[in-house]
Amino acid sequence: MLKHKKKLFFIFVSIFLLAGCDSSNVIQSSHTHFFDHYFIYPFSLLILFIGNTWLHQSIGFSIMLVTVGVRMLVAPLNILQYKNQLSNKRIQPQLQELKEKYKDKDHESQQQYQREMMELLKENGANPLMGCLPLLVQLPVISIVYYAIRRIDEISASSFLWLDLGHADPYFIFPIAAAVATYLQSKVIQKDVEGMNQSHAVLARILSPIMVLSFGIFSPSGLVLYWMTSSLFMIFQSLVLRKVFQEKVVLEVK
């Protein structure tokens, strides 16, 4: 359940950050603001260069391609996170035994429980903080994408299919697609997450898509396109990692 709480927290923080964005000022190369000059403007140039040079001026496809590129750069962190999840899953019986052993709520018992739990995690290479790293990377990236779409005229004025990338989807098709992709991503990932009870699993699986849909209805279509592509890539990545590590376990057993 902890992993899904982190994911929901990430979505809440993203909404908070984007809600407070000042999108009224167009970003130019002359801007001296650190975030504008060194992150948003170069990122927007990358999107425009790929779209105009390789994709026949399709900024929408360029956003999708750049999203895949960003996800591939973050992939090593996701692999570490996946290994950490497998370690957590493997030691769940031992963690449950510790909970039963120290079920008393007195201070001394709880301290001893914390010590033995941390030792068990350390011995098995399970780091409870590892799940935060990919999320910490995504927060600034999603802010950069949002600003690039809203504050770079050439991107916000671009069209993709029936969409104006700087405006919300009038037919709500992309927000719905992003919500469905988020649901499928949660469903795929839950199979590899340490024992969640069913009610928590269903709650986590439903809340994330609802939040993505609610926010996506009012967000620029370019940002929703980023979310959808990101979720689809994560589904693919999770399936590949599952296959690779399952085959690795089979080989080790042999």
105-129 pLDDT tens trace:
777 777 787 888 888 777 777 776 6
Write down the pLDDT at residue 139: 79
Dump pLDDT digits (tens) for 38-91.
Answer: 888 889 999 999 998 888 889 999 999 999 999 999 888 888 888 877 777 777
Rounded Cα distance, 67 and 50, in Å: 12
What's the rounded mean pLDDT across residues 195-214?
Answer: 72
Rounded Cα distance, 201 and 211, in Å: 16
Write the single-letter amino acid at 181. Answer: A
Rounded Cα distance, 174 and 56, in Å: 22
Write down the pLDDT at residue 254: 46
Whether residue 124 contacts residue 90, with contact meaning beta carbons closer than 8 Å, is answered with yes
**Listed ranges 3-17, 129-143, 239-253; the one with the highest mean pLDDT:** 129-143
161: phi > 0 → left, psi -120 to 50 → alpha, else beta; which?
Answer: left
Dump pLDDT digits (tens) for 72-86.
Answer: 998 888 888 888 777
pTM confidence score:
0.78
What's the rounded mean pLDDT across residues 19-40?
Answer: 61
